[in-house]
Amino acid sequence: MTGERAECDVIVLGGGPVGLAAAAALAREHYAVALVERAPLTTFEGPVDSDDWDARVYAVSPGSAELLRAVGAWQDLPAERIVPIETMDVRGDDGGAIEFSAYELGERALAWIVEHREVCSALLKSVRSAANVEVLAPSEPASIAWRADSAELKLADGRVLAARLLVGADGIRSWLRAEAGIPGAPRPYRQTAVVANFGIERAHRGRAFQWFLDGAGVLAWLPLPGRRMSMVWSAPDALASELGALDPSALAQRVAETGAHALGALECITPSVSFALSFLTLPSIVAHRLALVGDAAHGLHPLAGQGVNLGFGDAGTLASVLSAGRALSDPGAALLLERYARKRAAPVTAMQFVTDGLIRLFEPPRLKRLRNAGMRAVGALAPVRRLLAQPALR
């Protein structure tokens, strides 16, 4: 296949949930799309054991659910593997507390908890069902040649793909971003997210919990279907190593004690998995014939569960901007890419400011009394709670 050359409108590099969503959204706008992913996507296809739960889950916001519905993926998610977050109980490290309620906000749910595997599986079905998308996976990118009116992506097997726009959805250490010469490197938080799923003694009733811990990071419990919950413990690196070394029963006991046994006794039902956490902001998320989406464009702390939602927002906005500018007959036109970057600047910057600011606020011991007093004040004011919740919903 050496030397084989193919042309399309858009190449999407990266087959995670955001890359799949971008490919599906662009295909819906009648662009010819090539989706390139290094790893095989067969892991997202085929039946799933009813007792097999993915340790990696997402809190999909109502706005993101609308995008997934528009591309036909939400309808393919199995209802028995989705659960709504109806209330969110947030606790400080010295008595501060805020509760968010979907009912108070006029929403069916604050978010829906969906497994990584199920989201990717449903999106992959949407992508494969589109006649104008070619999926190349596994396929390794080798080099890029930038032209005035196109970009050529050479693959490791010698094939060449040419398109008027490249979309980088290849993660926080994006190869495509580096090839385009966009400066910026992830800044480590010196925290690691330890994730695992647990069986629970008491019903969660659609309630999520989050604790800002004194010197121990942020612990979140997210409801899963039935008597199960998913844990994300964003812990200092040393503590994360300690947690990762615990056997399942010891980890369950440690997590239950740290969460004040809010759901009774716990039983570990998946092995724990760890992810290093980092912050990323870039001087620009676009360049010549290039748009970045998802973690390739920005990185933030997972305490608000908004990383994948910002990525879905990128995908939806990019497709919308290109559709509105179709009269230019060039999806890689600089005018359209600049418009996309402007539209994403405010929501991304605001979410990064909030999440990064909260982590910094909860680090210094001297600010403990002030931050918890602030939480109590916000918790007592419904209009302020609604104001805080709105960006996360949409």
Q: Tell me: do 129 and 247 sit in the same domain.
A: no
Of 93-102, 137-146, 156-165, 331-340, where does mean pLDDT reach its minimum?
93-102
pLDDT of amino acid 42: 87
pLDDT cut 90: percent of the chain above it: 78
pLDDT (tens digit per residue) in 5-32: 899 999 999 999 999 999 999 999 999 9
Q: Residue 212's domain spans which residues?
A: 70-115+187-278+363-393
Would you say how long the chain is, in residues? 394
In a domain, 57, yes or no: no
The pLDDT tens digits for 101-140 are: 999 888 899 999 999 999 999 999 999 999 999 999 999 9
pLDDT higher than threshold 50 for residue 1: no
pLDDT given at position 386 = 65
Q: Which of 182, 179, 186, 224 is nearest to 205 (CA)?
A: 224
Q: How far apart are CA 320 and CA 340, in angstroms?
A: 9
**What H or E segment, with its residue span, contains residue 123?**
helix 116-129
pLDDT of residue 393: 65
Our count of domains for the chain comes to 2
Whether residue 58 is contained in a domain is answered as no
pLDDT score for 304: 78
* CATH assignment of the domain containing 308: 3.50.50.60
Mean pLDDT, residues 271-284: 95
User: Is 342 inside a domain boundary?
Assistant: yes
Give the Cα separation of 135 and 115 in Å (integer): 22
Residues 266 and 127 in one domain: no
Q: What is the DSSP string of 76-90?
A: GS-GGG-EEE-EEEE
12 and 121 fall within a common domain: yes
On whether the CB atoms of residues 297 and 314 are closer than 8 A, the answer is: yes
pLDDT digits (tens, 9 = 90+) for 178-232: 999 999 899 999 999 999 999 999 999 999 999 999 889 999 999 999 999 999 9
- Shared domain check, 251 and 286: no
Distance of alpha carbon 38 from alpha carbon 172, whole angstroms: 15
318 in Cβ contact with 168 (< 8 Å): no
The per-residue pLDDT for range 311-327, each reduced to its tens digit, is 999 999 999 999 999 99
Please give the mean pLDDT across all residues of the chain: 92
Residue 200's CATH number = 3.30.9.10
Cis peptide before 138 (omega within 30 of 0): yes
125 and 43 belong to one structural domain: yes
Could you tell me if residue 179 is inside a domain? yes
Q: Which pLDDT band, with edges at 50, 70 and 90, does 387 fall under?
A: low
Residues 146-168: tens digit of each pLDDT? 999 999 999 999 999 999 999 99
Q: How many CB atoms lie within 10 A of CB 4?
A: 11
- Residues 95, 121, single domain; the answer is no
Separation CA 30–CA 28 (nearest Å) = 5
Does 122 share its domain with 37?
A: yes
pLDDT of residue 144: 97
Give the pLDDT score at 39.
95
Q: Can you read off the two tokens belonging to residue 178? A: 């580096």
**Within-domain flag for 65:** no
The pLDDT value recorded for residue 391 is 65
Tell me what the mean pLDDT of segment 389-394 comes to: 66
| Domain-embedded: residue 13 | yes
* pLDDT value for 385: 63
* Domain co-membership, 35 together with 145: yes
Query: What are the φ/ψ torsions at residue 46 (nearest 5 degrees)?
Result: 100, 170
Is 32 in the same domain as 77? no
Q: What is the pTM assigned to this prediction?
A: 0.94
Question: Do 173 and 303 belong together in one domain?
Answer: yes
Tell whether 11 is covered by a domain: yes
Q: For tokens 């040649």, name the residue.
A: 145
Q: Tell whether 195 is covered by a domain.
A: yes
- Determine what percent of the chain is predicted with pLDDT higher than 70: 94
In the predicted structure, residue 366 carries a pLDDT above the cut 90: no
* Residues 192 and 266 grouped into a single domain: yes
What average pLDDT does this structure show over 40-54? 86
196 and 316 together in one domain: no
